[in-house]
Each structure stands twice: as C-alpha cells, then as structure tokens.
Amino acid sequence: MKYLLFTIVSIVDLISLGSAISQRTFQEIQEEIASYGDIAKAIINLAVYGKAQNRSYERLALLVDTIGPRLSGSKNLEKAIQIMYQNLQEDGLENVHLEPVKIPHWERGEESAVMLEPRTHKMAILGLGSSIGTPPEGITAEVLVVTSFDELHRRAPQARGKIVVYNQPYVNYSSTVLYRVQGASEAARVGAVASLIRSVASSSIYSPHTGLQEYQDGVPKIPTACITVEDAEMMSRMASRGSRIVIQLKMGAKNYPDADSFNTVAELVGSKYPEQVVLVSGHLDSWDVGQGAMDDGGGAFISWETLSLIKDLGLRPKRTLRLVLWTAEEQGGVGAFQYYQLHKANISNYSLVMESDLGTFFPYGLQFTGSDKARAIMKEVMCLLQPINVTQVLQYGEGTDISYWIQAGVPGASLLDDLYKYFSFHHSHGDTMTVMDPKQMNVAAAVWAVVSFVVADMEEMLPRS
C-alpha cells in the first residue's frame, strides 16, 4: 500500500510540476545549494578527518557498553533516556527535553525449546515480542513444517494440535518478515498450539533473530518464537524423510500494562524561521538481545552527531534542526506515533523528516520520498557530498518513526547501506559494537549533517506535492 501510494503521488507531482514551482527558477535554487560547498566541506572535514572523527562511535560504545540492550518497558531503556538527556544538555544543545509517552511492556522471561524426537536436540530460540508464554510445564507437541502460508493452508487439517514450524526462504526483509509478524495467528487459525518461525535473516551462525509479532483479533493467541535458519532447515529435511518431530517449548513471556517512557528531543533553534523544522532521528530502544548498537544506536548517534557537528562549526540554520530519539520503535513506532499526534497540527512547518534505521555502515546513498521538485533539490544537495562519494538519491525514504509524516505528505529521507550485513545481525545477540565501524559512522554522520543543515538553511522549505 505504501509503495502504491507513493507512485500515485509521483504521477500527480509530474503533472503539476510546472505550476508547483516557486517564484525562483531551478537555476537559482541550484546556485543557492552550490553556495553551501564550503560549509559541506567543513562538515565533512570535521566529521571524517577532523577532531570529531570517531566521536559518534565512541559515544555510542560508551552508552551501549554501560547500559546494554534497551527493550521497550525496561529499566535499561529508561536509564538510557536519562543518560541521553544529560548527554545532550552537556553537549550544549538547545531545548533539550523529554516528551512523555506510553509504551508496551513485554518481557521474555526464561525460554527453551528441546527437540525430543527424532533425537534430543536443544534448540536456540528467541520468543517474539508480544507473544504470550506457555504454561509452566511447556507445550509438547508434534511438529508440522511448512515453507509458506500457502502450504499451511493446503495442509490445514494436519495443523490441529501441532507446533507449526515455518521454514520460509529469505527473499527480502519486507516480504519475509510477514511470517514473523503473522505466523502465529495464521497457525492458530488452523488449530496449531504454537508456532516457531525461521529467523528473518540474510545469514546465520546458528543465530535466532527476534522481532515483533502481532496477534489478529478473533484468533486464539498461541506462543510464538523464532528459531535458527539451521534448525528450520534441519526440521524440513527430517519431515521430508517422514520423521516424526516432537518439540517441548517453554516460554515465560509476559505482557504487562503500558509503561511510561519518553521521546528525547534537542534542537538547534532556527535563526530566521524557528517555527519551521528539519527533523533528524533514530530510535533509542532496541530488542533485549545484543547491545542495540546497530539497530538503532548507530542511527540515533549519527543524528546526535549531526547537531554536534553543526554546533561545533558555529553554524546555525535558518530553520530549527530538531533531534528526536524515538522510544518503542521496535514495538511498532509507538513513541513516534504519539509524537505525531501531539505535533501534527504544525505539519505545514515540517520541511523534511529524516530517520536512519537501516545501519550506519558506508552509505550507498539517501533514500527519499517527496515530490519530483523536492527530489531534484535533494539531488543537488547530495552533489555537495562528492568529496566522500555519497551522491545517490534513491527511491522511498524509510523509517517506521517518520512514516506517519511521510504518509501525510512531508518529504522524508533515510540512509541506505549494506542490507545484507544489516540483516545478518538485526534483532540478534550479534547486534553489538563489533558490527560498527567508526570510519563508516563518520561518513554516515557527514551525509546526515550536510543534508539536514542545507535543507534547514535554504531560503525555502522543500516543496510538497
């Protein structure tokens, strides 16, 4: 639906392009953007070669080594928010404040899965976010292995009373993740007692990858966890040989009442149009495994770094550059939705919303959603990044937290980098500082800072459809 919507918008843009253009010619805009060449070089020099190099990496390492993972509803997340509040104040940023929101509180508790037949095998699992637990004695049942929802539906009569194991191939994240999100309810519809989903991952060293799942209304809730690619494939082979597979699944997962949390905000207030906003962001919460260094520590910290770099250079854009560190993104953009509800009355003043939530490795380019005119402007802005060779403007600005604004017509941008690497570590115990590279973070921060500063400082806001 999202992509279809964007296509329609783009066609409309194309038709109305002539009339939508402002008083200024595009050449005047090009010249304005080109005039930021020295500022862009100064930002790049400071971030990549100067005294700020490796700062976002070092700051991030300190936070995530100190706190660890930051699950929605956990004390760790609230500690991290308080530390970041202090960090942003100590950094000399403006309007540093916390905006209260309510967020989900789920805990996994103790969990285990043991194959009892055809042989004893202790399996690595991670319960999926929002899943219910099992009874204390666990659920012991025979397994039905399927490779798709289609196969599940074809074999529906065999699913009753079973644990459904999904061994769906990894195609790409956005399509394959449907098994994680909907697998439990689809299995419950045909009478399954639990479901185990092959981790949605581009590679594996016997690594389970957790994530959110969603129960559907009117369908019984059954416990659900992810298993490794390795175990999903093994059970598929066993089943194809006719072996009976029996698993004992124990999950202590519990859902608690919503918890108090905060979106963390800081600004560089605009010199000329302070009410107008360019928003840069990442989310501070993570899953409860690994360190949440990549997802989304990196995105949060290059966004902070953006304001630090601009402040360090003594720059102040005409519009307000606002940093938001979202809470409870992993639970479905929960903090960001409440932010949108609170601030949407001011939507006409949002020039650009940016979120980095797909890794801060060496960027391939900027993903962007907006009118053709706005895209043409972004292409000019990205030319300023020729010194570090990151100039591409790609389709579809992404980010759960900024999606509310993008869907309402605000131009949106995100960073794209090595998704194979990203989805190797995503939501797993392997999401740690070991994945992060300070030099790559320097470059990502430079891109983030140049784009957000120039768009915040140009004479006009980005044009909408």
Give the residue numbers annotated as catalytic, written as ranges: 329
The nearer residue to a copy of itself, 75 or 344, going by C-beta atoms, is: 75
The nearer residue to a copy of itself, 9 or 124, going by C-beta atoms, is: 124
Cα 419 to Cα 408: distance, rounded to the nearest angstrom? 27
- Least separation in angstroms between residue 248's CB and a copy of itself is 17
The nearer residue to a copy of itself, 135 or 242, going by C-beta atoms, is: 242
Segment (H or E) for 246: strand 246-251
- Least separation in angstroms between residue 420's CB and a copy of itself is 13
Contact between 373 and 13 under an 8 Å Cβ cutoff? The reply is: yes
Cα 30 to Cα 377: distance, rounded to the nearest angstrom? 8
Contact between 142 and 164 under an 8 Å Cβ cutoff? The reply is: no
Helix boundaries (H) for 263-371: 299-312, 334-343
The nearer residue to a copy of itself, 78 or 460, going by C-beta atoms, is: 78
| C-alpha pair distances (Å), 195 with each of 7, 202, 213, 221 | 36, 21, 11, 11
| Beta strand 246-251 pairing with 111-117 | antiparallel
The nearer residue to a copy of itself, 220 or 252, going by C-beta atoms, is: 252
Whether the ω angle into residue 118 lies within 30 degrees of 0, i.e. cis, is yes
- Least separation in angstroms between residue 253's CB and a copy of itself is 17
The nearer residue to a copy of itself, 414 or 428, going by C-beta atoms, is: 428
DSSP codes, 15-62: HHHHHH--SS-HHHHHHHHHTTHHHHHHHHIIIIISTTTTHHHHHHHH
Q: Which residues bind a copy of itself (CB under 8 A)?
A: 61-62, 65-68, 118-119, 121, 124, 203-207, 229-230, 233-234, 237-238, 241, 290-291, 424-425, 428-430, 432-434
Cα 147 to Cα 94: distance, rounded to the nearest angstrom? 52
Cα 206 to Cα 229: distance, rounded to the nearest angstrom? 7
- Least separation in angstroms between residue 112's CB and a copy of itself is 13
Under DSSP, the state recorded for 212 is: B
Backbone angles phi, psi at 227, to 5 degrees: -120, 175
Whether the ω angle into residue 437 lies within 30 degrees of 0, i.e. cis, is no
Cα 30 to Cα 44: distance, rounded to the nearest angstrom? 20
Contacts of 164 (CB under 8 A, 6+ apart): 143, 144, 146, 152, 183, 187, 192, 194, 195, 196
- Least separation in angstroms between residue 234's CB and a copy of itself is 6
CA nearest neighbour of 194 among 255, 122, 250: 250
The nearer residue to a copy of itself, 273 or 425, going by C-beta atoms, is: 425
- Least separation in angstroms between residue 184's CB and a copy of itself is 24
- Least separation in angstroms between residue 428's CB and a copy of itself is 6
- Least separation in angstroms between residue 233's CB and a copy of itself is 5
The nearer residue to a copy of itself, 67 or 402, going by C-beta atoms, is: 67
